[in-house]
Structure 1
Amino acid sequence: MASLIEELITTLEQESEIYEKLVPIEEKKTKIIVKGDLEALQQITEQEQTIVEKIKQLERKRAEVVKNIGTVIGKDPQILRVQTIIEILDKQPNEQQQLSKVHEKLKKTVVRLAEINNHNNSLIQQSLEMIEFNMNFIQSARMFNVNNGYNKGASQSDTPVMGTGIFDTKQ
Protein backbone atom coordinates (compact mmCIF):
# COMPACT_ATOMS: atom_id res chain seq x y z
CA MET A 1 0.00 0.00 0.00
CA ALA A 2 2.94 2.33 0.59
CA SER A 3 3.65 2.51 -3.13
CA LEU A 4 0.00 3.38 -3.80
CA ILE A 5 0.16 6.22 -1.27
CA GLU A 6 3.38 7.49 -2.87
CA GLU A 7 1.73 7.33 -6.28
CA LEU A 8 -1.28 9.25 -4.94
CA ILE A 9 0.97 11.92 -3.42
CA THR A 10 2.92 12.25 -6.67
CA THR A 11 -0.27 12.50 -8.73
CA LEU A 12 -1.74 15.16 -6.42
CA GLU A 13 1.52 17.12 -6.53
CA GLN A 14 1.43 17.07 -10.33
CA GLU A 15 -2.20 18.19 -10.29
CA SER A 16 -1.37 20.98 -7.87
CA GLU A 17 1.47 22.21 -10.10
CA ILE A 18 -0.79 22.29 -13.14
CA TYR A 19 -3.56 24.10 -11.28
CA GLU A 20 -1.00 26.63 -10.03
CA LYS A 21 0.05 27.26 -13.65
CA LEU A 22 -3.59 27.90 -14.46
CA VAL A 23 -3.99 30.72 -11.89
CA PRO A 24 -1.94 33.38 -13.78
CA ILE A 25 -3.61 32.36 -17.03
CA GLU A 26 -7.04 32.92 -15.46
CA GLU A 27 -5.91 36.26 -14.03
CA LYS A 28 -4.68 37.27 -17.50
CA LYS A 29 -8.04 36.15 -18.87
CA THR A 30 -9.74 38.60 -16.49
CA LYS A 31 -7.74 41.48 -17.98
CA ILE A 32 -8.54 40.30 -21.51
CA ILE A 33 -12.27 40.13 -20.73
CA VAL A 34 -12.16 43.66 -19.31
CA LYS A 35 -10.39 44.91 -22.45
CA GLY A 36 -12.86 43.06 -24.66
CA ASP A 37 -10.11 41.53 -26.81
CA LEU A 38 -11.92 38.60 -28.42
CA GLU A 39 -8.90 37.33 -30.34
CA ALA A 40 -6.77 37.16 -27.19
CA LEU A 41 -9.70 35.57 -25.35
CA GLN A 42 -9.85 32.83 -27.95
CA GLN A 43 -6.10 32.22 -27.67
CA ILE A 44 -6.16 32.01 -23.89
CA THR A 45 -9.15 29.67 -24.03
CA GLU A 46 -7.10 27.35 -26.25
CA GLN A 47 -4.29 27.45 -23.66
CA GLU A 48 -6.81 26.55 -20.97
CA GLN A 49 -8.08 23.59 -22.99
CA THR A 50 -4.56 22.18 -23.26
CA ILE A 51 -4.10 22.43 -19.49
CA VAL A 52 -7.56 21.00 -18.80
CA GLU A 53 -6.67 17.92 -20.86
CA LYS A 54 -3.60 17.35 -18.66
CA ILE A 55 -5.75 17.77 -15.56
CA LYS A 56 -8.26 15.23 -16.88
CA GLN A 57 -5.46 12.70 -17.41
CA LEU A 58 -4.19 13.21 -13.87
CA GLU A 59 -7.73 12.97 -12.47
CA ARG A 60 -8.17 9.60 -14.19
CA LYS A 61 -4.85 8.46 -12.74
CA ARG A 62 -5.82 9.71 -9.27
CA ALA A 63 -9.18 7.93 -9.47
CA GLU A 64 -7.43 4.69 -10.45
CA VAL A 65 -4.98 4.98 -7.54
CA VAL A 66 -7.82 5.71 -5.08
CA LYS A 67 -9.71 2.72 -6.49
CA ASN A 68 -6.66 0.51 -5.89
CA ILE A 69 -6.24 1.89 -2.36
CA GLY A 70 -9.92 1.20 -1.71
CA THR A 71 -9.47 -2.39 -2.86
CA VAL A 72 -6.46 -2.87 -0.56
CA ILE A 73 -8.13 -1.41 2.54
CA GLY A 74 -11.55 -2.89 1.81
CA LYS A 75 -13.43 0.40 1.29
CA ASP A 76 -15.76 1.33 -1.55
CA PRO A 77 -13.67 3.47 -3.97
CA GLN A 78 -16.79 5.40 -4.99
CA ILE A 79 -17.07 6.96 -1.55
CA LEU A 80 -13.36 6.94 -0.62
CA ARG A 81 -11.94 10.47 -0.44
CA VAL A 82 -8.40 11.75 0.04
CA GLN A 83 -9.38 13.09 3.45
CA THR A 84 -10.48 9.58 4.46
CA ILE A 85 -7.16 8.15 3.27
CA ILE A 86 -5.32 10.80 5.31
CA GLU A 87 -7.24 9.71 8.41
CA ILE A 88 -6.49 6.04 7.75
CA LEU A 89 -2.74 6.77 7.63
CA ASP A 90 -2.55 7.59 11.36
CA LYS A 91 0.11 4.86 11.84
CA GLN A 92 2.22 6.29 9.01
CA PRO A 93 2.80 9.92 10.06
CA ASN A 94 5.27 10.78 7.27
CA GLU A 95 2.91 9.71 4.48
CA GLN A 96 -0.03 11.20 6.34
CA GLN A 97 1.74 14.56 6.62
CA GLN A 98 2.85 14.56 2.97
CA LEU A 99 -0.61 13.63 1.72
CA SER A 100 -2.28 16.16 3.99
CA LYS A 101 0.09 18.93 2.89
CA VAL A 102 -0.39 18.35 -0.86
CA HIS A 103 -4.15 17.94 -0.36
CA GLU A 104 -4.43 21.30 1.42
CA LYS A 105 -2.26 23.02 -1.17
CA LEU A 106 -4.40 21.63 -3.98
CA LYS A 107 -7.62 22.65 -2.23
CA LYS A 108 -6.38 26.25 -1.78
CA THR A 109 -5.37 26.50 -5.43
CA VAL A 110 -8.70 25.11 -6.62
CA VAL A 111 -10.61 27.53 -4.37
CA ARG A 112 -8.55 30.44 -5.80
CA LEU A 113 -9.29 29.29 -9.34
CA ALA A 114 -13.00 29.03 -8.54
CA GLU A 115 -12.99 32.62 -7.26
CA ILE A 116 -11.25 33.87 -10.41
CA ASN A 117 -13.62 31.88 -12.64
CA ASN A 118 -16.67 33.23 -10.83
CA HIS A 119 -15.34 36.75 -11.30
CA ASN A 120 -14.67 36.09 -15.00
CA ASN A 121 -18.16 34.64 -15.44
CA SER A 122 -19.62 37.75 -13.83
CA LEU A 123 -17.61 40.00 -16.16
CA ILE A 124 -18.72 38.02 -19.20
CA GLN A 125 -22.35 38.18 -18.06
CA GLN A 126 -22.07 41.95 -17.61
CA SER A 127 -20.54 42.26 -21.08
CA LEU A 128 -23.37 40.27 -22.59
CA GLU A 129 -25.94 42.42 -20.80
CA MET A 130 -24.23 45.57 -22.07
CA ILE A 131 -24.20 44.22 -25.61
CA GLU A 132 -27.90 43.39 -25.35
CA PHE A 133 -28.63 46.86 -23.96
CA ASN A 134 -26.70 48.51 -26.80
CA MET A 135 -28.47 46.36 -29.41
CA ASN A 136 -31.86 47.31 -27.96
CA PHE A 137 -30.89 50.97 -27.81
CA ILE A 138 -29.70 51.02 -31.42
CA GLN A 139 -32.82 49.20 -32.54
CA SER A 140 -35.05 51.66 -30.63
CA ALA A 141 -33.22 54.66 -32.07
CA ARG A 142 -33.69 53.38 -35.59
CA MET A 143 -37.36 52.62 -35.09
CA PHE A 144 -38.23 56.18 -34.09
CA ASN A 145 -37.30 59.36 -35.87
CA VAL A 146 -34.81 61.20 -33.69
CA ASN A 147 -35.89 64.79 -34.50
CA ASN A 148 -36.93 65.76 -30.96
CA GLY A 149 -40.59 65.60 -31.93
CA TYR A 150 -40.62 68.79 -34.04
CA ASN A 151 -41.35 69.18 -37.72
CA LYS A 152 -40.16 71.84 -40.20
CA GLY A 153 -42.76 74.35 -39.10
CA ALA A 154 -41.48 74.20 -35.51
CA SER A 155 -44.67 72.61 -34.28
CA GLN A 156 -44.47 69.50 -32.16
CA SER A 157 -45.17 66.19 -33.85
CA ASP A 158 -46.14 63.15 -31.74
CA THR A 159 -46.12 60.52 -34.46
CA PRO A 160 -43.09 58.29 -34.50
CA VAL A 161 -41.54 57.60 -37.85
CA MET A 162 -40.43 54.03 -38.49
CA GLY A 163 -36.88 53.69 -39.71
CA THR A 164 -35.05 50.71 -41.02
CA GLY A 165 -34.28 47.92 -38.56
CA ILE A 166 -30.90 46.43 -37.86
CA PHE A 167 -31.56 43.09 -39.52
CA ASP A 168 -32.59 42.49 -43.11
CA THR A 169 -35.57 40.16 -42.78
CA LYS A 170 -36.16 39.91 -46.55
CA GLN A 171 -33.33 37.43 -47.10
Structure 2
Amino acid sequence: MDDLLDVIEQEEKHYRKLIGLSTDKKNAIIKGDIRTLEDITNEEQDVTSILKNLETKRSGVLADMADVLGQDAETLTVRKMIDLLEKQPNEQKKLSDLCDRLRHTLDEMSAVNEQNRVLLEQALEMVNFDLTLFKSLRQAPETANYDKNAYNTGELLGSSGFDAKQ
Protein backbone atom coordinates (compact mmCIF):
# COMPACT_ATOMS: atom_id res chain seq x y z
CA MET A 1 0.00 0.00 0.00
CA ASP A 2 2.83 2.36 0.84
CA ASP A 3 4.39 1.74 -2.57
CA LEU A 4 1.15 2.70 -4.30
CA LEU A 5 0.82 5.87 -2.25
CA ASP A 6 4.45 6.76 -2.94
CA VAL A 7 4.10 6.24 -6.70
CA ILE A 8 0.94 8.34 -6.89
CA GLU A 9 2.57 11.11 -4.84
CA GLN A 10 5.54 11.12 -7.20
CA GLU A 11 3.21 11.23 -10.21
CA GLU A 12 1.36 14.21 -8.74
CA LYS A 13 4.66 15.98 -8.05
CA HIS A 14 5.86 15.49 -11.62
CA TYR A 15 2.53 16.59 -13.08
CA ARG A 16 2.86 19.75 -10.97
CA LYS A 17 6.28 20.25 -12.53
CA LEU A 18 4.71 19.85 -15.97
CA ILE A 19 2.14 22.52 -15.10
CA GLY A 20 4.99 24.89 -14.23
CA LEU A 21 6.73 24.11 -17.50
CA SER A 22 3.49 24.56 -19.44
CA THR A 23 2.98 27.96 -17.82
CA ASP A 24 6.53 28.92 -18.80
CA LYS A 25 5.77 27.63 -22.28
CA LYS A 26 2.71 29.87 -22.47
CA ASN A 27 4.88 32.91 -21.69
CA ALA A 28 7.45 31.84 -24.29
CA ILE A 29 4.72 31.42 -26.92
CA ILE A 30 3.35 34.88 -26.15
CA LYS A 31 6.84 36.42 -26.39
CA GLY A 32 7.71 34.38 -29.48
CA ASP A 33 10.88 33.12 -27.76
CA ILE A 34 11.66 30.02 -29.82
CA ARG A 35 14.88 29.17 -27.95
CA THR A 36 13.14 29.11 -24.57
CA LEU A 37 10.27 27.14 -26.09
CA GLU A 38 12.73 24.53 -27.34
CA ASP A 39 14.39 24.26 -23.90
CA ILE A 40 11.03 23.89 -22.17
CA THR A 41 9.96 21.21 -24.63
CA ASN A 42 13.14 19.24 -23.88
CA GLU A 43 12.46 19.49 -20.14
CA GLU A 44 8.86 18.38 -20.70
CA GLN A 45 10.08 15.31 -22.56
CA ASP A 46 12.33 14.41 -19.62
CA VAL A 47 9.46 14.77 -17.12
CA THR A 48 7.13 12.82 -19.41
CA SER A 49 9.66 9.99 -19.54
CA ILE A 50 9.75 9.90 -15.73
CA LEU A 51 5.95 9.88 -15.64
CA LYS A 52 5.85 6.96 -18.07
CA ASN A 53 8.18 5.01 -15.78
CA LEU A 54 6.01 5.87 -12.76
CA GLU A 55 2.91 4.71 -14.63
CA THR A 56 4.61 1.38 -15.33
CA LYS A 57 5.61 1.11 -11.68
CA ARG A 58 2.05 1.92 -10.53
CA SER A 59 0.67 -0.78 -12.84
CA GLY A 60 3.14 -3.26 -11.37
CA VAL A 61 2.21 -2.34 -7.80
CA LEU A 62 -1.49 -2.71 -8.63
CA ALA A 63 -0.82 -6.09 -10.24
CA ASP A 64 0.99 -7.24 -7.10
CA MET A 65 -1.87 -5.99 -4.94
CA ALA A 66 -4.37 -7.78 -7.19
CA ASP A 67 -2.51 -11.06 -6.66
CA VAL A 68 -2.55 -10.61 -2.89
CA LEU A 69 -6.24 -9.67 -2.85
CA GLY A 70 -7.29 -12.34 -5.32
CA GLN A 71 -8.48 -9.77 -7.86
CA ASP A 72 -8.00 -9.63 -11.62
CA ALA A 73 -4.86 -7.58 -12.30
CA GLU A 74 -6.27 -6.33 -15.62
CA THR A 75 -9.36 -4.77 -14.07
CA LEU A 76 -7.98 -3.52 -10.73
CA THR A 77 -7.76 0.25 -10.78
CA VAL A 78 -6.89 2.73 -8.08
CA ARG A 79 -10.57 3.68 -7.73
CA LYS A 80 -11.49 0.02 -7.36
CA MET A 81 -8.71 -0.31 -4.79
CA ILE A 82 -10.24 2.54 -2.79
CA ASP A 83 -13.54 0.66 -2.75
CA LEU A 84 -11.79 -2.53 -1.60
CA LEU A 85 -10.24 -0.69 1.37
CA GLU A 86 -13.59 -0.06 3.09
CA LYS A 87 -12.44 -2.05 6.14
CA GLN A 88 -9.30 0.10 6.41
CA PRO A 89 -10.65 3.66 6.56
CA ASN A 90 -7.28 5.34 7.20
CA GLU A 91 -5.65 3.84 4.12
CA GLN A 92 -8.82 4.36 2.12
CA LYS A 93 -8.88 8.07 3.02
CA LYS A 94 -5.18 8.55 2.24
CA LEU A 95 -5.53 6.91 -1.17
CA SER A 96 -8.77 8.71 -1.93
CA ASP A 97 -7.35 12.12 -1.00
CA LEU A 98 -4.23 11.48 -3.03
CA CYS A 99 -6.27 10.41 -6.06
CA ASP A 100 -8.47 13.49 -5.78
CA ARG A 101 -5.38 15.69 -5.59
CA LEU A 102 -3.92 13.99 -8.66
CA ARG A 103 -7.23 14.38 -10.54
CA HIS A 104 -7.30 18.11 -9.69
CA THR A 105 -3.70 18.48 -10.87
CA LEU A 106 -4.49 16.70 -14.13
CA ASP A 107 -7.51 18.93 -14.72
CA GLU A 108 -5.35 22.01 -14.12
CA MET A 109 -2.71 20.70 -16.50
CA SER A 110 -5.34 20.03 -19.13
CA ALA A 111 -6.59 23.62 -18.88
CA VAL A 112 -3.09 25.06 -19.27
CA ASN A 113 -2.40 22.78 -22.24
CA GLU A 114 -5.65 23.88 -23.88
CA GLN A 115 -4.58 27.53 -23.49
CA ASN A 116 -1.22 26.70 -25.07
CA ARG A 117 -2.94 24.90 -27.94
CA VAL A 118 -5.09 27.94 -28.69
CA LEU A 119 -2.07 30.26 -28.45
CA LEU A 120 -0.07 28.06 -30.83
CA GLU A 121 -2.94 27.95 -33.32
CA GLN A 122 -3.17 31.74 -33.22
CA ALA A 123 0.59 32.07 -33.64
CA LEU A 124 0.48 29.77 -36.68
CA GLU A 125 -2.38 31.76 -38.17
CA MET A 126 -0.34 34.93 -37.71
CA VAL A 127 2.72 33.36 -39.35
CA ASN A 128 0.59 32.21 -42.29
CA PHE A 129 -0.88 35.69 -42.60
CA ASP A 130 2.60 37.25 -42.55
CA LEU A 131 3.84 34.79 -45.19
CA THR A 132 0.86 35.47 -47.43
CA LEU A 133 1.33 39.21 -47.03
CA PHE A 134 5.06 38.94 -47.75
CA LYS A 135 4.43 36.85 -50.87
CA SER A 136 1.82 39.28 -52.14
CA LEU A 137 4.20 42.22 -51.66
CA ARG A 138 6.87 40.50 -53.73
CA GLN A 139 4.49 39.46 -56.50
CA ALA A 140 3.65 41.88 -59.24
CA PRO A 141 0.27 41.82 -60.94
CA GLU A 142 -0.18 40.16 -64.31
CA THR A 143 -0.22 42.38 -67.36
CA ALA A 144 -3.13 42.50 -69.74
CA ASN A 145 -1.10 41.11 -72.64
CA TYR A 146 -2.76 38.67 -74.99
CA ASP A 147 -1.31 36.40 -77.64
CA LYS A 148 -2.67 36.05 -81.19
CA ASN A 149 -5.36 33.61 -80.01
CA ALA A 150 -6.65 36.13 -77.45
CA TYR A 151 -5.30 34.18 -74.47
CA ASN A 152 -3.70 35.99 -71.58
CA THR A 153 0.07 35.50 -71.71
CA GLY A 154 0.34 35.68 -67.92
CA GLU A 155 3.35 37.98 -68.01
CA LEU A 156 4.13 39.73 -64.78
CA LEU A 157 5.12 43.32 -64.33
CA GLY A 158 8.66 43.91 -63.10
CA SER A 159 9.33 43.41 -59.41
CA SER A 160 10.06 47.09 -58.81
CA GLY A 161 7.07 49.29 -58.28
CA PHE A 162 8.54 52.18 -60.31
CA ASP A 163 9.87 52.15 -63.85
CA ALA A 164 12.34 55.00 -64.28
CA LYS A 165 12.80 54.47 -68.08
CA GLN A 166 9.51 56.05 -69.12
TM-score by length of 2: 0.81
Q: Secondary structure of 1:91's partner?
A: coil
1:86 is displaced (CA, Å) by 0.3
**1:107 aligned to 93, 103, 106, which one?**
103
Please name the residue that 2:23 is paired with: 27
Residues 79-120 of structure 1 show CA distances to partners (whole Å, capped at 9, x for unaligned) of 221111001100000110110011111111111111101111
1:72 is displaced (CA, Å) by 2.3
1:78 is displaced (CA, Å) by 2.3
Q: Identical aligned pairs, as a percentage?
A: 35
Indicate conservation of the 8 Å contact 1:144/1:160, yes or no.
no
Indicate conservation of the 8 Å contact 1:142/1:163, yes or no.
no
**1:37 aligned to 20, 33, 38, which one?**
33
1:73 is displaced (CA, Å) by 2.4
Aligned pairs (5 A) from 1:19-168: 19-144=15-140, 161-162=156-157
Distance 2:155 2:114 in 1: 43
Distance 1:133 1:13 in 2: 45
Distance 1:50 1:110 in 2: 18
Distance 2:72 2:117 in 1: 36
Please name the residue that 1:13 is paired with: 9
Moved segments of 4+, more than 6 Å: none
Number of residue pairs aligned between Structure 1 and Structure 2:
147
- Counterparts in 2 of 1:136 and 1:101: CA distance versus 1, 3 Å: same
- Provide structure 2 residue ranges, at least 5 long, that are not aligned to the other structure: 142-153, 160-166
Distance 1:17 1:106 in 2: 9
Please name the residue that 2:150 is paired with: none
Distance 1:163 1:50 in 2: 53
1:75 is displaced (CA, Å) by 2.7
1:10 is displaced (CA, Å) by 1.0
Name the amino acid aligned to 1:100.
S
CA RMSD of aligned residues (A): 1.8
- Counterparts in 2 of 1:134 and 1:163: CA distance versus 1, 3 Å: farther
1:22 is displaced (CA, Å) by 2.0
TM-score by length of 1: 0.79
Name the amino acid aligned to 1:137.
L
